[in-house]
Structure 1
Amino acid sequence: MNNDYLRIEKAIQFIRAHVNKQPSLQQVAAHVGLSPYHFQRLFRQWAGISPKRYLEFLTVGHGKWLLACSRSVLQATYDVGLSSPSRLHEQFITVQGGTPGEYKSHGGGLQIDYGIHTGPFGDMLIAQTRRGICLLAFVTETTQPIELARLRRLYTKAEIKQNQDTTAPTAQRIFPAPEPSNNQIHLAVKGTNFQIAVWRALLQIPYGRVISYNQLANTVARADAVRAVANAVAANPVNVLIPCHRVLRANGEIGGYRGGIDLKKELLAWEAYNTEQNESLAPPA
């Protein structure tokens, strides 16, 4: 895993744990084994802002504000048929369900290549077929075997092998910051019709915005099935690209995330900052 991200993650955890004491830059830097100058430089290189400014995006208060701010944008987006701003993301990423034959055969005859690659938020396990990415998960040494077992459960009869060379070009396209490229990323996922409908709805959430589980249920015309929608979100096999991290509880709390709550907060903060830079949005004081 990228040592820079490990230091960043350790620093964020330290600041959050001591938020009431408001630790100084010197204290945080010492905690991660760097001088204040080098830590500040490292953090700005990773996030684009100071540690103190970045942590403003990690609060529940900011989650509530972001939900309120997103509501009007999302409603307008849905009202005009997803013409803007989510259309760019929708065109950037295409989602295909598995073919009936693949579903029936449990992946029999399917070749899946996977690789472990380092990104700005740590290591990622990327698995793909010829049709597209079928699994993307953030992993640690502990969770990597768990995610590989998940992949094998989804495709019990597929030929699954590690092939870093095949997945490396895909890994380089996961985090184009902050604008997506013109080249599409294709996802070939396995799920029920309902799950795939929810995952496609997630793609409609614009970059830097969030939605509540209730709002998401409404978008798939299942307002009475919030729990089922939440379960479909949790079953998302392609983290980040299908942005389940953009779903919060109605009160602005973060909720769960397969990669961990801290990672979900960091992803939202990263996106919120980039959106603020692009759209001159400012969080509350």
Structure 2
Amino acid sequence: MNVSSRPERLDNSYHFHVMRRAIDLIDSAETPLSLEDLAREMNMSPTHFQRVFSRWVGVSPKKYQQYLTLGHAKALLRERFTTLDAAHSVGLSGGGRLHDLFLRWEAMSPGDYARQGRGLTIYWGWFESPFGPALVMGTDKGICGIGFASETGEEAAMEDLLSRWPQARFIEDPMRLRDWVLRAFGAASDRLDPVPLYLIGSPLQIKVWEALLRIPSGHVSTYSEIAQAIGQPRAVRAVGTAVGRNPISWLIPCHRALRKSGGLGGYHWGLPVKRALLAYEAARSEG
């Protein structure tokens, strides 16, 4: 199957590649880098670099650098930890949406899931997202998969998502998905109708993904808290596995799940992407 079709580009797509390089620089620096230092390393003028940063995330490079530090996860747990029971009590759950109120979802039945996608037609396409190349898959009912390829590579991302539903019929058709994708990544903010999701997973996975959908943007929770929320407090390891198997990255926010210690934990598409996702949301929620 062709994995190299030209991806559709969103207005701010290339900015993620600047951010990805900035993450590496920030991590390798012994002290915080000035705007001038970062701009010079990016081969940009300070003015242009500031403009790129601000357009992508809405805050200055100096403030954004704070969100990209390795200690940011612990700060999020201190200041923006979400108790999922509380989120549920204020109406942040159910098919109506959850944290940002722009999604609706339904889940495949356990019997259909057991058939590994047999009889299901899944459309796919490559898009340039704010977080690098994104492989998006969807059925007639909604988006069922989003994978990021900036760390794994496009071929590995394609093989990964194809293996989730091995009996399904796959058709390349990015135009069928385009409207959903533009809304999902904020490039069609004038549209008020929700982005539909189609959750394809085991009963336990669906419960875990429902819990993830109750974590508000800019906030985080822990694997143990998610296990508690689904009524299986001792199943932290199984919950962690289900979080890692979430096929709809970004929209089902598995990046908002952290270790109780404040560690980032794993991320299926690469930890640099997870850090960028968290920093992007935190900056936008405060900016």
TM-score by length of 1: 0.86
Indicate the residue corresponding to 1:250 in structure 2: 260
Deviations 1:223-250 (A, max 9, x none): 1010000000000000010000001111
Equivalences for residues 1-285 of structure 1 within 5 A: 2-18=13-29, 20-71=30-81, 74-80=84-90, 82=92, 88-89=98-99, 92-99=102-109, 102-140=112-150, 142-176=152-186, 182-277=192-287
Residue 57 of structure 1, CA deviation: 1.5
Contact 1:112 1:129 in 2 (8 A): yes
SS at match of 2:184: coil
Residue 275 of structure 1, CA deviation: 1.8
Deviations 1:82-128 (A, max 9, x none): 479x9553753233222456334432332211010012111110001
The RMSD of aligned alpha carbons is 2.7
Over 4 Å off, 4+ runs = 72-75, 177-181
Contact 2:27 2:69 in 1 (8 A): no
Residue 72 of structure 1, CA deviation: 6.3
- Unaligned regions of 5+ residues in structure 2, if any? 1-6, 8-12
SS at match of 2:183: coil
SS at match of 2:137: strand
Residue 216 of structure 1, CA deviation: 1.0
Deviations 1:55-102 (A, max 9, x none): 112234432232133346655323455479x95537532332224563
Residue 9 of structure 1, CA deviation: 1.5
- Unaligned regions of 5+ residues in structure 1, if any? 278-285
Shifted more, 22-31 versus 75-84: the winner is 75-84
Shifted more, 111-120 versus 54-63: the winner is 54-63
Percent identity (aligned):
38
Shifted more, 196-205 versus 48-57: the winner is 48-57
Contact 1:95 1:200 in 2 (8 A): no
Q: Which has a greater percent of helix?
A: 1
SS at match of 1:172: helix
Tell me the number of residue pairs that the alignment of Structure 1 and Structure 2 aligns: 275
Deviations 1:191-216 (A, max 9, x none): 11001000001001111110011111
Report the AA paired with residue 36 of structure 2: Q
